[in-house]
Amino acid sequence: MSGGRERVAKRATVAAVVALVAAVVAFGIPANVAWTVPDLPEKDRASWTMPLDQYVGVGVVRLNYATELLIQDCMVEAGHDDAVVPWRDVDAATNATERQPLRAFDLAAAERRGYHVPPTVDAGADDWRAFEYRETSQAETADRSSCLDQAYRQHPELLTGASASSSTGSVGDIAIRLSNAAFLEARQDSSVRRAADAWHACMLDEGVGAGPWGGDLPDDPADMPTTAMAEAFASYDPTTAVGDDERDLAETDAGCRETSGYLDALYEAEWQEQLTVPHDFGERLAQIDTGPIVAAQQLVDRTIERLGPERPSRL
């Protein structure tokens, strides 16, 4: 979660969301036939859990990586030592290639990387590419097919995870677009607007108004960092270092979002926005059994954590 994600890194996502909202209006879908999300997760603001999360599915990058890890032992036992999976930065690769739900900027993000956007450079990309495109014999191809069949029998949720991935046009993609539309709409909620005023007052109380950014302090935390700030901090470039000034401002910003009640108000407003979706999209979501999707997410997370190799010292 990062302010940079909201302000800088997601401009393309915002454009896509605006297009989605425009499409909904253009189709003339009446509000009185909106589809209600039937099964709700427990609220958890710390992880920004939302009603539509259960439809998002596993990202393609993580799913493919976990699948290779799951069949690795089977392949090695069949005599294919070149099937040992190399390390890769799956989070960075995911950030670089896949759309993700917008999330609010908080203190954890500020402490971790200031306003910098999430990393997008996979340091293990070359090793992974060599692994993916290595030459294989007919015997290895046949063994791989057998090992995959075995993995799918043991973990059928892997197939569900693939069908609900975030690839364009998938159910996961629809859920992410709807989620992001809800996030943007929630920022206009009256309770969020009132909390934004309290955030601004907090920033002034913290001395930001008298500091170097006093003339650039916006009225709304959604506009942080401003364009001038992002350029000064190079926060749009994840390969640059986070400086002390950036981190101090980001942590002050995040602290004010917390104490002003802005994050609580935004979370509740987005939750309410996600409780219903336009009818046509609801028809797609209603056909999905979310249990296997959630199971696939959990399996992939466990697999990468348990079987993922250590990062090589040369990287």
Tokens linked to 287: 């056909």
Asked if pLDDT for residue 168 goes beyond 90, the answer is no
Amino acid at 153: R
In a domain, 184, yes or no: yes
Tokens linked to 310: 């250590």
In a domain, 313, yes or no: no
Neighbouring-strand partners of residue 276:
36
114: phi > 0 → left, psi -120 to 50 → alpha, else beta; which? left
57: phi > 0 → left, psi -120 to 50 → alpha, else beta; which? left
Helix (H, G, I), strand (E, B) or coil at 36: strand
What pLDDT does 110 receive?
97
Element (H, E) at 276: strand 276-277
250's CB contacts (< 8 A; 6+ apart) are: 3, 109, 110, 114, 115, 225
Distance CA 216, CA 211 (A): 10
- Report the pLDDT averaged over residues 252-260: 98
Distance CA 20, CA 37 (A): 19
Q: pLDDT tens, 216-225?
A: 999 999 999 9
Distance CA 119, CA 240 (A): 10
* Alpha-carbon dihedral angle through residues 101, 107, 112, 114, given to the nearest 10 degrees: 90
Distance CA 53, CA 78 (A): 38
Element (H, E) at 160: helix 157-163
Helix 60-77, helix 290-307: angle, nearest 10: 60
Helices (H) and strands (E) in the chain, counts: 15, 2
Distance CA 34, CA 39 (A): 15
In a domain, 189, yes or no: yes
Q: pLDDT tens, 177-205?
A: 999 999 999 999 999 999 999 999 999 99
* Number of structural domains in the chain: 1
In a domain, 312, yes or no: no
In a domain, 223, yes or no: yes
What pLDDT does 288 receive?
87
Parent domain of 98: 3-307
What pLDDT does 160 receive?
75
In a domain, 67, yes or no: yes
Distance CA 207, CA 209 (A): 5
- Report the pLDDT averaged over residues 311-315: 96
- Report the pLDDT averaged over residues 12-17: 40
pTM: 0.83
Asked if pLDDT for residue 270 goes beyond 50, the answer is yes
Q: pLDDT tens, 147-165?
A: 999 999 999 988 876 666 5
- C-alpha atoms less than 13 angstroms from C-alpha of 13 in its C-beta half-sphere: 27
87: phi > 0 → left, psi -120 to 50 → alpha, else beta; which? beta
Yes or no: say if 37 and 53 are a contact pair by the CB < 8 Å rule.
no
Amino acid at 64: N
Q: pLDDT tens, 59-112?
A: 889 999 999 999 999 999 999 999 999 999 999 999 999 988 999 999 999 999
Q: pLDDT tens, 22-72?
A: 444 333 344 457 899 999 999 999 999 999 999 988 888 999 999 999 999
Helix (H, G, I), strand (E, B) or coil at 275: coil
Yes or no: say if 23 and 138 are a contact pair by the CB < 8 Å rule.
no
In a domain, 63, yes or no: yes
